[in-house]
Amino acid sequence: MFEAIGLKKEYERDNMSFFAVNDVSIHIDKGEFICVTGRSGSGKSTLLNILAGMSSPTSGEIVFRGRKYSSLTDKELSALRGTKISYIMQRMSVLSNFTVLQNVTLPHFFNKWHSNPEGRARFLLEQVEIHHLARQYPPSLSDGEIRRVSIARALFNSPELLIADEPTSDLDDETTLGIMRLFESVVDTGTSVLMVTHDSSAASFGNRRYVMNSGVLNVLTQTSHTEKAASTLINQ
């Protein structure tokens, strides 16, 4: 479904160039749950930005459903991101002068998909346990609540691929477990998830795990079924 081949991203700092992403290839099939860990600065967000089509690689190619990113215009890439691929960025972005509910229904303005957008948004707000905040504005929310607004918004269009950069970094263990179960449930419906996390409880989810080290992506484990970390967390 989704394939990245030989991705490199070269940056320059203090007149020295370096590869933040260095020859990364990865394929993602329908319904896979992939988890990437790695030290700060190892290139994880740079990689996700490229995979989501937010920045271009120095070299390499991405193919989604047979179409090369390099053959798409910026408009086509943003349309792809608004419909089939959702990206939860590490640095949160929600619109302050829109309510929580309006933030979650935002994808509907670009792509009229649902017959009942408000119902869909309210359902997702319940899933991320902030339905009581639907009419509030982001400045009055905690970081973890805002994080959950961005998760609900990313799921609004039932994307084929969800790319999530540290989606649980502001959340407690119990809420993290709820979000991971939500991701598992969307994986069960055929969505693929590619998640970067520092969170050890979240990192135990997924059927394929990678570690990123100085721009290089190395496979850690691969299992046929998503391992559930629920019991570990519940027993804590």
Ligand X SMILES: Nc1ncnc2c1ncn2[C@@H]1O[C@H](COP(=O)(O)OP(=O)(O)OP(=O)(O)O)[C@@H](O)[C@H]1O
Residue 7 CB, shortest distance to ligand X, in Å, is 12
Least separation in angstroms between residue 217's CB and Mg ion is: 14
Quick check: 8 binds ligand X (CB under 6 A)?
Answer: no
Which sign does the torsion angle of CA 192, 179, 40, 218 carry? negative
Q: Does 44 bind ligand X (CB under 6 A)?
A: yes
* Per rule CB under 6 A, count of chain residues that contact ligand X: 12
With binding defined as CB under 6 A, does residue 194 bind ligand X?
A: no
Polymer length of the chain: 236
Instruction: Establish if 91 lies at the interface with ligand X (CB under 6 A).
Output: no
> Which region among 38-46, 91-99, 104-112, 202-210 touches ligand X (by CB under 6 A)?
38-46
With CB under 5 A as the contact rule, the residue among 45, 150, 175, 204 that binds Mg ion is: 45
Give whole-number Cα distances, 99 to 136, 139, 146, 176, in Å: 5, 10, 11, 23
91 Cβ partners below 8 Å, 6+ apart?
A: none
Q: Which residue has the tokens 């970081």?
A: 143
Closest-CA residue to 129 (of 152, 160, 158, 109): 152
User: Please, which residue, 45 or 226, has the CB nearer to Mg ion?
Assistant: 45
Distance CA 63, CA 52 (A): 11
Residue with token string 């990206």: 87
Contact status: 90 vs ligand X (CB under 6 A) = yes
Site pattern 60..99 for Mg ion (x: CB under 5 A): ------------------------------x---------
Q: Which residues bind ligand X (CB under 6 A)?
A: 11, 13, 20, 38, 40-46, 90
